[in-house]
Amino acid sequence: MKNLFYLLYKSFLDVAPLICVIFFFQLVVIGEPFPETLKLIAGLALVIFGLFLFMRGLEMGFFPLGESMAYSFASKGNIWWLMFFAAAIGYATTIAEPALIAIANKAEVITGGRLASFSIRNAVAVGVAAGIAVGTLRIVLGHPIHYYIISGYVIVMIITIFAPGEIIGLAYDLGGVTTSTVTVPLVTALGVGLAGSISGRNPMVDGFGLIAFASLTPMITVMGYGLIVL
């Protein structure tokens, strides 16, 4: 029970800055009391408890699973299956991301159907899949990450010049929403587990960075989609 309360306390500390900002602007800047205070308190309590359950679930399930699967694929020595697994994880977790669905639906409405919601989601998911696959290959080969990231952003800048104006902002936004609550922990565990299972790799140096690829490559694929349909 002591450990349970400590973890709940840590979850409260994670949410505390957000609570302070809301209270400050509502009571000091706006200068009005909160409407339905009891519902607000109940909602904050549920958020804290939900964050606690979420973090415990990641620690108990996703992180060990990602690390063990990465180790298993690395021990088999088949880089193609490893890359396919990484790409499949990226695609599957992205295509159902609620934030992505919301933005894609809004884009379809605003453009009158010229940009189809499901097509946008697929363009983003394919981008994430490709990015994580390339990031996985980088860990295996031991290449410095900045070579890939700099090259990727050069491609982003070049394709931005030719992409239709109405797709650029959308593409940049979609590069951010791809890092979902499921993708981030599972992909991070995959990278750390893979780096830890390969001789000569440092999990701290080589294990992180896959999320950067997941945010970068969708901008390229979405702008490419825009070049085709607009």
> Which pLDDT does position 221 carry in this prediction?
94
> Which pLDDT does position 125 carry in this prediction?
92
| pLDDT score of 4 more than 90 | no
- CA 103/CA 118 separation, integer angstroms: 11
How does pLDDT run across 116-161, given as a tens digit for each residue?
A: 999 999 999 999 999 999 998 888 888 888 999 999 999 999 999 9
Compute the mean pLDDT over every residue in the chain, rounded to the nearest whole number. 83
How does pLDDT run across 83-127, given as a tens digit for each residue?
A: 888 898 889 888 878 788 888 999 999 888 888 999 999 999 999
pTM over 0.85: no
Mark residue 180 as left, alpha or beta (left: phi above 0; alpha: psi -120 to 50; beta: remaining).
beta
Q: How many CA atoms lie within 13 A of 51 on its CB side?
A: 15
pLDDT winner (highest mean) among 70-84, 100-114, 179-193, 199-213: 100-114
| pLDDT score of 180 more than 70 | no
Q: Nearest Cα to 139, choosing from 181, 195, 182?
A: 195
Q: Where are the domains of the chain?
A: 1-60, 77-229
